Amino acid sequence: MHQLSTIELLPPEKEYLGVVGFPIKHSLSPVFQNAALREMAKGNPSFESWEYLRIEVKPEELPELLKICRDRGFRGLNLTLPHKVEVLELLDEIDPVAAKMGAVNTVSFQNNKTIGSNTDGYGLSKGIETTLGMSLKDRPILLMGAGGAARAACVQCLEEGCSHLWIGNRSKDRLDALLEDLLASYSPDRMEGFLTGDEIPDVPGDTLLIQSTSLGLKPEDPLPVTEELLAKIEGLYDLVYGKEPTRLVRTARSMGKLAADGLTMLVHQGAKSLSIWTGEEVPVDVMLDAVKLKL
């Protein structure tokens, strides 16, 4: 793991990438990104000099880190908490979809410019497609949560043309803030919010439930939705992931529902970032195998 002081001491002969957060030691990104680079080097020896690092910096250190990485010739960076929002004001360019999401998880250094994009939505879409066989397009979506992950998910669902989007959250203030931001770019006819604990929306039977709250990170966490709601939907994608399926995923499967956790989202968002930096096709299967083995 690197800090600000050690980045300047890196040998200059390598091509560097990295994931930046505070804390960052838990990140699985180096596991699957370096596995992908090793596989890509078999067909293109130039990737033998590429290395993906784990970098821990405090929020106040982020501006200096970006400058050092740009000056040192880094190819790019992934950003995780707490940097995804704070980085916005430090960038030269921001992808329009990332701007709607209000967060950046991928930074590219090109022509002395620092460019931000967001691959979380892409990762979500590909994760749902590969594990559940579902598309967001023309699909009714019920999404739980109103934090940063929920915001990215909402934008992706609306961008891909979901037929309707219900957003549920415990906090009315956070829910209203999210809806207000979304309404700046999307039609009010396509979405509505509700408070969890109130009456469950009357959703159609082909609805996909996306769970984006932190509930499920701990084994003792309660279910973020009721079994009554689970009975109404066709499929579930839980952004929480771990060594074993979450309690919510297990419950949904026991009811005969299609259900998956967010591990595939993690890998696909990383694969999209790597393809942006390298301009090459990325071995997603190798990345997924590597992270499963690590877990």
Model-level pTM?
A: 0.95
Distance (Å, whole) CA 123 – CA 186: 21
Catalogue all structural domains in the chain, each as residue range(s) with its CATH number.
4-118+265-294 (3.40.50.10860), 121-261 (3.40.50.720)
Q: Let me know how many helices (H) and strands (E) the chain has, helices first.
A: 12, 12
Distance (Å, whole) CA 170 – CA 173: 9
Helix (H, G, I), strand (E, B) or coil at 14: coil
Positions marked catalytic: 84
201 Cβ contact list (under 8 Å, min separation 6): 142, 166, 168, 192, 194
Partners of 165 in the beta sheet? Answer: 141, 191
Judge contact between 265 and 291, C-beta under 8 A. Answer: no
Sheet containing strand 258-261, strands side by side: 191-195, 164-169, 140-144, 208-211, 235-238, 258-261
Tens digit of pLDDT at every position of the chain (295 positions): 999 999 989 998 999 999 999 999 999 999 999 999 999 999 999 999 999 999 999 999 999 999 999 999 999 999 999 999 999 999 999 999 999 999 999 999 999 899 999 999 999 999 999 999 999 999 999 999 999 899 999 999 999 999 999 999 999 999 999 999 999 999 999 999 999 877 788 999 999 999 999 887 787 788 888 899 999 999 999 999 988 899 999 999 999 999 999 999 999 999 999 999 999 999 999 999 999 999 9
